[in-house]
Amino acid sequence: MSKGKIVLVSFPFDDFSIQKVRPALCLTDPMGQFSHVVVAFISSKVPENIEQTDFIIDPDQVAWGNTGLLTTSYLRLHKLVSIPLSLILRMLGDFPELMENELSEKIKLMFQLK
């Protein structure tokens, strides 16, 4: 798996007590001795509070067919986790290249980068 891939993973809930299989976006290529990747949570539920760093991926977008997602989804960049490749269940698709600049801007905003 590499940066820009949408994958299926067991994503931990906020309190880390349980995990649920969810789609996620790989934000990095594998790193380190144990080949960890940083992934961001993707949900089909409309968030109660939409953050500035949330990102909507919907079927009306040109590159939707390559995502592997089934419905309009919300990329929640503030929900990140570093996981070993072994926890990735399978690849679903690719994040749309046309949206990479917007994604980069939201990551900069989240981490207060210039």
| Residue written as token pair 């990102």 | 55
Q: Give residue 102's pLDDT.
A: 92
pLDDT of residue 114: 81
Answer yes or no: are the C-beta atoms of 96 and 66 closer than 8 Å: yes
Query: In this predicted structure, what is the pLDDT of residue 18?
Result: 82
Question: What span, in angstroms and rounded, lies between the C-alpha atoms of 48 and 11?
Answer: 20
Query: What tens digit of pLDDT does each residue of 3-51 get?
Result: 999 999 987 777 777 888 999 999 999 999 889 999 999 999 988 889 9
pLDDT score, position 62: 66
Give, rounded to a whole angstrom, the gap between the first and last alpha carbons of the chain.
28
Q: How confident is the model over 58-95, as pLDDT tens digits?
A: 888 767 789 999 999 999 999 999 999 998 999 999 99
Cα 1 from chain centroid? Answer: 13
* Residue 112 banded pLDDT, cuts 50, 70, 90: very high
pLDDT of residue 47: 83
Domains and CATH numbers, the chain: 5-111 (2.30.30.110)
Distance separating alpha carbons of residues 67 and 92, to the nearest angstrom: 7
Take residue 96 and report the two structure tokens written for it: 């749309």
Diameter over CA atoms, the chain: 40
